[in-house]
């Protein structure tokens, strides 16, 4: 009975504290105008990714014919005629690609695949990394801790993109079919990039948990008879949320870069999927013939998204918890 009451009191206090913590965070976050810019960029990107079919002016896969005497890719603002009886006209605001597909529409759909991959990569790296890091930290300096962290050291010894390229290179691009299981390309990309980033979350998590374990409330919970799992999941992990949020936001930038890079090398998404990296890879051959819009717009979009995540991540780090702050986590 006594234990139950004390938990309720503690939780009540925590809620109050959390509310004021949130207010404090918001005050800090708002102060930095660049963080707001980052939040707006990411908000718009997610919005465009989710509602792509409603926002994109045209179908991303339709190949429009160039008017007579002209060739795709057509420059921004070109008017195209839709074949058929309707005589409908469309405008390609950012021009078309070499197959006559609307560049803007493909970019918006490209945001969708990019966000799915980047969020997926973070989800994989985060869930596995947090679990491993939390266990290692909680059982600090035991053989379990040693084994987990040495395994992480080994993954970290590989330059991350080289590791991802090698794994996909050996599996082959596209769907991988083992006979008993067939791994779709998208899932494969997510797992391969995510795998390379597991140690980064595990390390951060381990040190955060080690630090938390020294706090008085852990001893208090232990003496009240709380189980290890309870302490770890209810108390310790809750307190490490800020650091994980900051890391995840900054790694979103890295994940965007890595997935676009893989597609650029032909090892990520495969045609005809709309992908910014793939568009850049195709656009390379049009650089010399003066079709500047083809490589410029998809690359610019990539840069703005990455900038958005970096600004947001920096802002969150400054506002949430400067204790564990780290510079230069972006490892392009």
Partner 1 sequence: MSTARFILKRLMLIVPVLFGVSVAVFGLLHIAPGGPAAVLLGPLQNEQIIQEVRSQLGLDKPFYVQYWLWASSAIVGDLGTSWTVQQGTPVVDLIKSRLLLTFELALLAQLLAVLIGIPAGIIGAVRQNKPADHLSRIGALSGISIPNFWLGIVLIMVFGVTFNFDWGTGGWISPFEDPVANLQHLILPVIALGTARAAIIQRMTRSEMLETMNQDYIRTARAMGISEREVILKDATKNALIPVVTVIGIGIGGLLNGAVLTETVFNLPGLGKLFITAIARRDFEVIRALVLFITCVFVFANLSVDVLYAYLNPKIREDGGN
Binding site for partner 1 (CB under 8 A): 150-151, 153-155, 157-163, 165-167, 169-172, 176-179, 253, 257, 260-261, 264-267, 280, 283-284, 287-288, 290, 292, 295-296, 299, 302-304, 306-307, 310-311, 327-328, 330-332
Q: Which residues pair with 96 in a beta bridge?
A: 102
Of 72 and 310, CB closest to partner 1: 310
Nearer to partner 1, 117 or 221 (CB): 117
Distance CA 243, CA 107 (A): 32
Q: Length of the chain, please?
A: 332
Nearer to partner 1, 221 or 302 (CB): 302
Distance of closest approach, residue 15 Cβ to partner 1, in angstroms: 34
Closest by CA to 250, choosing from 260, 242, 239, 238, is 242
Taking the complex as a whole, the smallest distance from the CB of residue 184 to partner 1 amounts, in Å, to: 14
Question: Of the candidates 295, 273, 256, 257, which has an alpha carbon nearest to the alpha carbon of residue 173?
Answer: 273
- The span from the CA of 265 to the CA of 305, in Å, is 20
Identify which of residues 77 and 172 has a Cβ nearer to partner 1 in the complex: 172
CB of 183 to partner 1, least distance (A): 9
Cβ–Cβ under 8 Å, residues 133 and 203 = yes
Nearer to partner 1, 84 or 179 (CB): 179
Q: How far is the CB of 77 from partner 1 (least distance, A)?
A: 20
Provide the minimum distance between the beta carbon of 223 and partner 1 in the complex, in angstroms, as a whole number.
28
C-alpha dist (Å) from residue 147 to 128, 132, 135, 154, 235: 15, 10, 11, 11, 25
Strand stretches in the chain, DSSP E: 78-81, 89-92, 176-177, 182-183
Q: How far is the CB of 115 from partner 1 (least distance, A)?
A: 16
Which sign, positive or negative, has the C-alpha torsion 183, 187, 189, 193? negative
Helix, strand, or coil (residue 94): coil
In the complex with partner 1, the residue whose CB is nearer, 227 or 325, is 325
């Amino acid at each position: 009975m006594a234990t139950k009451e004390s938990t309720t009191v503690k939780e009540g206090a925590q809620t109050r504290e959390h509310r004021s913590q949130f207010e404090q965070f918001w005050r800090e976050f708002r102060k930095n105008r660049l963080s707001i810019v980052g939040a707006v960029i990411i908000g718009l990107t997610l919005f465009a990714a989710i509602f792509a079919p409603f926002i994109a002016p045209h179908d991303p896969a339709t190949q429009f014919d160039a008017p007579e005497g002209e060739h795709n890719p057509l420059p921004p603002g070109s008017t195209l005629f839709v074949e058929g009886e309707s005589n409908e006209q469309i405008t390609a605001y950012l021009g078309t690609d070499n197959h006559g597909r609307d560049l803007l529409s493909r970019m918006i759909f490209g945001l969708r695949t990019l966000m799915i991959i980047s969020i997926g990569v973070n989800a994989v790296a985060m869930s596995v990394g947090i679990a491993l890091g939390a266990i290692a930290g909680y059982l600090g300096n035991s053989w379990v801790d040693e084994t987990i962290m040495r395994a992480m050291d080994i993954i970290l010894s590989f330059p991350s993109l080289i590791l991802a390229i090698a794994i996909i290179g050996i599996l082959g691009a596209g769907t991988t079919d083992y006979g008993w299981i067939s791994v779709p390309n998208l899932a494969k990309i997510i797992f391969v990039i995510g795998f390379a980033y597991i140690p980064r979350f595990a390390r951060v998590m381990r040190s955060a948990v080690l630090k938390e374990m020294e706090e008085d409330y852990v001893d208090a919970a232990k003496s009240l008879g709380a189980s290890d799992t309870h302490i770890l999941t209810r108390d310790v992990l809750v307190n490490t949320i800020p650091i994980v949020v900051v890391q995840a936001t900054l790694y979103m930038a890295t994940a965007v870069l890595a997935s676009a890079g893989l597609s650029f090398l032909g090892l990520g998404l495969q045609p005809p999927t709309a992908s910014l990296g793939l568009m850049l890879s195709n656009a390379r051959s049009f650089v010399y013939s003066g079709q500047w819009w083809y490589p410029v717009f998809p690359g610019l979009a990539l840069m703005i998204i990455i900038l958005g995540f970096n600004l947001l991540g920096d802002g969150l780090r400054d506002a949430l918890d400067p204790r564990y702050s780290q510079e230069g986590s972006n490892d392009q």
